């Protein structure tokens, strides 16, 4: 599983609308970037990148590259990606990405200040769908055009069992990748078929053996719970198989069925509700990993103490750093400045994804000088984003730091939401003045997040038509 990052309507005062309606399901919205890309809108005359980056801090930038290609599309996948792209398409994509990179670097250099990248990530899609030579070319663009020193910064790459080949991993290791995340999802072949993800256990184990041999500082294994027919007995097989590889991180994702994905017409039916199954398996998986010595840092993330993964977390390095200073390259990538989040067109359905990739490849260079799709951030949206980034993590939200940054406490800005969380015993404030989700609140994190969406974001997302 990979992730990419990501209009003027009246905002309701402070509290916002979401808390008026209690969450009916633990699985409302996966919040890894706020707002969701469905809230972005096309810009008829988008802001110039040179203007957007004026006044922004440029000496601690993050670089995100979105590679919208996969060898197959899993039944649960609603990410922006195309399967089976031939080399003429991937080659043309890289050529366009280089043109976009040159324009972006020019906009940054126009500010006349030091430019330095402190974090990088390749996501998608599956970046390792690219050949070894294409991955080397992509690294060259990041280093020689964008000026990112990939050997000197934490750098994460998404991969899959079928594409984690020795030649590709050799390129990534030589270029200094520090974290490889592999989407296994399940080690059981029958569960893989139920998730419309045809893969063989032998292929998974062989890929993991190559990753271990490459000795990246951080290996992450993604697993999914809530697959049709999955039980504690089958889930523990995948958990123990993952633990056997001693990864520095394990991510546990609840299965979602989204519009226009392969599982829509194959939704499970049983006497137990799907929410009950997922909650039960989440708690089982959480407890199993905690008993194995892992630390939970969010609803999804479990890290092994004493490893590079914990060192990176302690240093404040996040795979999905959404503070101002994120520079995105590639169709589907998001960029974040203080006043504007911007990206490209977005879709899920195969014909639309292919059209958007083709349009990206054909984009005139001068068009990359302006934001194409965007969401304007104001102070209210920035504090919502900050709160979601901190509250949904185990470290929690420091009330003092929040007040210093935004002039009031989280409870003062969002009284209805925190009243809801307190009434359900989903959040507490400890003696250090830190707001944290309780264990039950963490289990419901995908419902907690949307409580803090603004009216503007909710209305924009509701108006979006899936395509």
Q: pTM for the complete prediction?
A: 0.91
Tokens 């649960």 correspond to what residue? 76
Two tokens, residue 197: 């993800």
Tell me if 352 is assigned to some domain.
Answer: no
Q: What is the pLDDT of residue 314?
A: 57
CA–CA dist 271, 126 (Å, integer): 36
Q: Quick one: 48 and 26 in the same domain?
A: no
Q: What is the pLDDT of residue 76?
A: 59
Q: What is the pLDDT of residue 336?
A: 96
Tell me if 440 is assigned to some domain.
Answer: yes
Q: Quick one: 243 and 146 in the same domain?
A: yes
Q: Quick one: 127 and 236 in the same domain?
A: yes
Q: Quick one: 264 and 168 in the same domain?
A: yes
Cα 87 to Cα 92, 155, 366: the distances in Å are 8, 25, 25
Q: Quick one: 68 and 186 in the same domain?
A: yes
Q: Quick one: 79 and 220 in the same domain?
A: yes
Average pLDDT across each block of 10 residues of the chain; the chain has 467 residues. List them in order.
32 35 82 90 94 95 94 68 91 98 98 96 94 98 98 96 97 98 96 87 98 98 94 98 98 77 47 85 98 97 88 54 82 95 87 92 97 97 96 97 97 97 97 97 96 97 86
Q: Quick one: 387 and 308 in the same domain?
A: no
- Number of domains present in the structure of the chain: 2
Q: Quick one: 45 and 26 in the same domain?
A: no
Tell me if 337 is assigned to some domain.
Answer: no
Two tokens, residue 90: 């991937």
Q: What is the pLDDT of residue 249?
A: 98
CA–CA dist 368, 48 (Å, integer): 9
Q: Quick one: 28 and 106 in the same domain?
A: no
Tell me if 271 is assigned to some domain.
Answer: yes
Last residue of one domain, picked from the residues 288, 314, 340: 314
Q: What is the pLDDT of residue 80?
A: 74
Tell me if 127 is assigned to some domain.
Answer: yes
Q: What is the pLDDT of residue 83?
A: 85
CA–CA dist 209, 215 (Å, integer): 10
Tell me if 111 is assigned to some domain.
Answer: yes
Q: Quick one: 33 and 70 in the same domain?
A: no
Q: Using CB atoms within 10 Å of the CB of residue 167, give its burial: 0 to 12 exposed, 13 to 18 middle, 19+ buried.
A: exposed
Last residue of one domain, picked from the residues 291, 314, 337: 314
Q: Quick one: 77 and 149 in the same domain?
A: yes
Q: What is the pLDDT of residue 15?
A: 36
Q: What is the pLDDT of residue 235?
A: 98
**CATH code of 96's domain:** 3.30.750.200
Tell me if 369 is assigned to some domain.
Answer: no
Domain range holding 276?
A: 41-314
Q: Quick one: 46 and 70 in the same domain?
A: yes
Which of 141, 176, 174 lies closest to 156, judged by CA?
A: 176
Tell me if 336 is assigned to some domain.
Answer: no
Last residue of one domain, picked from the residues 276, 292, 314: 314
């Amino acid at each position: 599983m990979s992730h990419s990052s990501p209009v003027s309507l009246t905002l309701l005062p402070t509290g916002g609308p979401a808390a008026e309606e209690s969450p009916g399901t633990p699985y409302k919205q996966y919040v890894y970037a706020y707002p969701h890309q469905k809230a972005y809108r096309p810009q008829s005359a988008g802001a110039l990148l040179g203007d957007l980056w004026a006044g922004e801090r440029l000496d601690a930038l993050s670089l995100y590259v979105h590679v919208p290609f996969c060898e197959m599309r899993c039944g649960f996948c609603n990410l922006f990606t195309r399967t089976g792209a031939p080399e003429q398409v991937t080659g043309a994509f890289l050529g366009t990405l280089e043109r976009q990179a040159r324009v972006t670097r020019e906009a940054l250099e126009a500010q006349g200040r030091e430019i330095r990248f402190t974090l990088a990530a390749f996501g998608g899609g599956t970046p390792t769908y690219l050949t070894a030579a294409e991955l080397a070319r992509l690294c060259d663009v990041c280093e020689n055009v964008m000026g990112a020193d990939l050997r000197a910064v934490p750098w994460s790459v998404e991969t899959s069992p079928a594409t984690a080949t020795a030649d590709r991993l050799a390129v990534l290791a030589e270029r200094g990748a520090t974290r490889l995340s592999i989407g296994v999802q399940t080690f059981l072949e029958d569960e893989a078929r139920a998730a419309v993800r045809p893969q063989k256990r032998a292929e998974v184990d062989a890929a993991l053996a190559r990753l271990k041999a490459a000795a990246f500082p951080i290996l992450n294994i993604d697993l999914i719970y809530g697959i049709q027919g999955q039980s504690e007995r089958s889930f523990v097989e995948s958990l123990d198989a993952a633990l056997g590889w001693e990864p520095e991180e394990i991510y546990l994702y609840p299965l979602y069925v989204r519009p226009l994905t392969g599982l829509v017409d194959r939704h499970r039916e049983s006497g137990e509700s799907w929410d009950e199954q997922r909650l039960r398996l989440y708690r089982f998986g959480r407890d199993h990993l905690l008993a194995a010595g892992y630390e939970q840092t969010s609803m999804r993330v479990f890290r092994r103490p004493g490893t590079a993964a914990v060192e990176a977390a302690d240093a404040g390095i996040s795979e999905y750093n959404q503070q101002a200073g994120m520079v995105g390259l590639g169709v589907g990538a998001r960029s974040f400045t203080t006043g504007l989040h911007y990206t490209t067109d977005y879709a899920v359905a195969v014909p639309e994804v292919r059209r958007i990739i083709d349009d990206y490849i054909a984009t005139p260079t001068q068009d990359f000088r302006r934001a194409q799709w965007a969401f304007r951030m104001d102070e209210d949206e920035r504090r919502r984003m900050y709160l979601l980034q901190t509250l949904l993590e185990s470290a929690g939200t420091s009330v003092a730091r929040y007040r210093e940054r935004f002039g009031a406490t989280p409870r003062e800005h969002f009284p209805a939401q925190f009243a809801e969380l307190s009434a359900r015993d989903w959040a507490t404030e400890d003696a250090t003045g830190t707001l944290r989700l309780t264990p039950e609140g963490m289990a419901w994190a995908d419902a907690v997040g949307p409580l803090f969406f603004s009216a503007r974001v909710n209305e924009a997302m509701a108006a979006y038509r899936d395509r």
